[in-house]
Amino acid sequence: MNKIAKSRNLRTKGKGDRNKGIGLYTLCSTLLATCSMLLAICYLLITVNGCGGTSRLHYVQQQFDYNSIKKIAVLPFESLTSDEYAGEKTRQSVITDLLSRGIDVVEPGEVTRYLIELKIKSLSTVKTSDIQTLAKTLSVDALMMGSVEAYGISKGITVSYPEVSISMRLIEASSGKIIWSVCNTSGGPNFWTRHFGAENISLSETANKVVKEAIDTLFKK
């Protein structure tokens, strides 16, 4: 009898151990699945929101040989914002970016001098013949011009963030035709700023980023 009772106790204990093992396995599986789901959600949020609001639209004339462009004149950028110096700030950023890519750029003062000599007062209504004459006078392969639609610090409910929007176009010297055009906007609070209050990038850094992304659609470093 004692042997039979002992055998029953061992079987009962074995079943209890198995049940505990199954319960522990189920718990671990549930925790693992929950963690995986949370990680997936975090990744999705960062992917969608990580860089703040960014939009870009560009056109590139496919038949043109862009490797033939060795020298560019960057014309004054028009500022359509409350910051009257936004156009010149962006122009300087464009010049710096082009130089970093090995493109020769005409000195801004020389460009301004010839604009005055040729009596070109408004670049928004400039004639094709004037563009061709200016390009020939400056001995460049192309002219770059553009405008700044947004340049400043925008304020949300709880955060402030930089916002920059530009449009640029490249005009081939001999034909006076647009061979490249881009509109690029960047700004807005990113994922970390919105959810954790982390510090965002500065306005000048945002402007440089917008310019680089725009010119990346034309010249790759």
DSSP letter at 76 equals P
- Of the three residues 16, 33, 49, the one that is the final residue of a domain is 49
Look at the chain and report how many structural domains it folds into: 2
Question: Residue 161 falls within a domain, yes or no?
Answer: yes
CA atoms within 13 Å, Cβ hemisphere of 35: 6
Cα separation of 215 and 84, whole Å? 23
Same domain, residue pair 73 and 156 = yes
Which of left, alpha, beta for 122 (phi over 0: left; psi -120 to 50: alpha)?
beta
Query: For the domain that residue 150 is a member of, what is the CATH number?
Result: 3.40.50.10610
Same domain, residue pair 65 and 128 = yes
Q: What's the confidence (pLDDT) of residue 34?
A: 55
Contacts of 129 (CB under 8 A, 6+ apart): 176
Question: Residue 85 falls within a domain, yes or no?
Answer: yes
52 falls in which pLDDT band (50, 70, 90)? very low
**What average pLDDT does the segment 27-55 reach?**
48
19 falls in which pLDDT band (50, 70, 90)? low
Q: What share of the chain is helix, strand, coil (3-state, %, to 5)?
A: 50, 25, 30
Same domain, residue pair 20 and 121 = no
**What average pLDDT does the segment 209-219 reach?**
93
Same domain, residue pair 182 and 206 = yes
7 falls in which pLDDT band (50, 70, 90)? low
Same domain, residue pair 30 and 103 = no
Same domain, residue pair 71 and 161 = yes
Same domain, residue pair 106 and 197 = yes
- Of the three residues 33, 49, 65, the one that is the final residue of a domain is 49
Which of left, alpha, beta for 120 (phi over 0: left; psi -120 to 50: alpha)?
beta
Report CA dihedral (129, 135, 136, 140) to the nearest 10 degrees: -160
Q: What angle do CA 75, 150, 124 make, to 5 degrees?
A: 35
176/6: higher pLDDT? 176
Q: What percent of the chain has pLDDT over 70?
A: 67
Residue with tokens 């970093």: 100
Q: What's the confidence (pLDDT) of residue 135?
A: 94
Burial class of residue 133, CB neighbours in 10 A (0-12, 13-18, 19+): middle
Same domain, residue pair 212 and 150 = yes
Same domain, residue pair 112 and 131 = yes
Question: Residue 162 falls within a domain, yes or no?
Answer: yes
Cα separation of 37 and 43, whole Å? 10
Answer yes or no: is pLDDT of 36 > 90. no
pLDDT digits (tens, 9 = 90+) for 81-136: 999 999 999 999 999 999 999 999 999 999 999 999 988 888 878 889 999 999 99
pLDDT digits (tens, 9 = 90+) for 139-159: 999 999 999 999 998 876 777
Is the separation of the CB atoms in 72 and 143 below 8 Å?
yes
Same domain, residue pair 57 and 105 = yes
Query: For residue 27, what are the domain limits?
Result: 1-49
Q: What's the confidence (pLDDT) of residue 154?
A: 80
Question: Residue 169 falls within a domain, yes or no?
Answer: yes
Cα separation of 206 and 143, whole Å? 24
**What average pLDDT does the segment 31-52 reach?**
45
**What average pLDDT does the segment 74-84 reach?**
94
End-to-end Cα distance, the chain: 88
Residue with tokens 């055998």: 7
Same domain, residue pair 130 and 167 = yes
Question: Residue 221 falls within a domain, yes or no?
Answer: no
Same domain, residue pair 43 and 59 = no
Question: Residue 25 falls within a domain, yes or no?
Answer: yes
Q: What's the confidence (pLDDT) of residue 119?
A: 87
206 falls in which pLDDT band (50, 70, 90)? very high
Q: What's the confidence (pLDDT) of residue 144?
A: 96
For the whole model, what pTM was predicted?
0.70
Answer yes or no: is pLDDT of 166 > 90. yes
